[in-house]
Chain A
Amino acid sequence: QKEVEQNSGPLSVPEGAIASLNCTYSDRGSQSFFWYRQYSGKSPELIMSIYSNGDKEDGRFTAQLNKASQYVSLLIRDSQPSDSATYLCAASSSGGSYIPTFGRGTSLIVHP
């Protein structure tokens, strides 16, 4: 069973701090990784995709991938209360799979 694991949280950080969200995956052959943000009662919204080892930055967001450790993380700099949401990590399976595997998400609370 291919799995993506996330700590459910909640992760609580003060406004302006860096929030660090982590994710591990079991399928060593996974090649594509995605972070989604989901506000309460809403659908998941794609934030970032990452395919290669290392860091990828987009505004206040940085995704980090370490395939050797099977580890993906999302850093949110200068966290804002509007960043409070559940963050879902997803990994594509190896081979010719069409289906991403989702983690259950980490709840982030940014308090003023």
Chain B
Amino acid sequence: DVKVTQSSRYLVKRTGEKVFLECVQDMDHENMFWYRQDPGLGLRLIYFSYDVKMKEKGDIPEGYSVSREKKERFSLILESASTNQTSMYLCASSPGVRTEAFFGQGTRLTVV
């Protein structure tokens, strides 16, 4: 079975802090994604990566950055956390083009 693991299930951070969300997949997938999910807004793509050290902006990249130094790991960084970044963050991976994505368990981030 594909396993996508996010480092934290729940996280509380203060405004202005730099926040790191880590994601690891164990199936040698090429692609990795970071989404946020808010009530009524569905899944919104923040960033994705199709190869090591390659990244592309999604629909809402502002205030975020990413890092993919190894194939299995994709990190999301909130440079300076703000209250409007309180959300459920979901990491996903997929093996190739036009293939299904597998999600991690999600990180519920609260910024106070």
Find chain A residues with CB under 8 A from B84 CB: none
Whole-angstrom CA separation of A46 from B94 in the bound complex: 12
Q: Say yes or no: is A25 at the interface (Cβ < 8 Å to chain B).
A: no
Q: Is the pair A42, B106 in contact by a Cβ cutoff of 8 Å?
A: yes
Q: Is the pair A31, B98 in contact by a Cβ cutoff of 8 Å?
A: yes
Q: Say yes or no: is B48 at the interface (Cβ < 8 Å to chain A).
A: yes
Number of interface residues of A (CB under 8 A): 24
Most chain B Cβ neighbours within 10 Å, of A44, A45, A46, A90:
A44
CB distance from B102 to the nearest CB of A (A): 6
Q: Is the pair A102, B43 in contact by a Cβ cutoff of 8 Å?
A: yes
Q: Say yes or no: is A56 at the interface (Cβ < 8 Å to chain B).
A: no
Whole-angstrom CA separation of A105 from B35 in the bound complex: 15
CB distance from A79 to the nearest CB of B (A): 24
CB distance from A45 to the nearest CB of B (A): 7
Q: Is the pair B97, A97 in contact by a Cβ cutoff of 8 Å?
A: yes
Chain A interface (Cβ < 8 Å from any Cβ of B): 31-32, 34, 36, 41-46, 49, 88, 90, 92-93, 96-100, 102-105
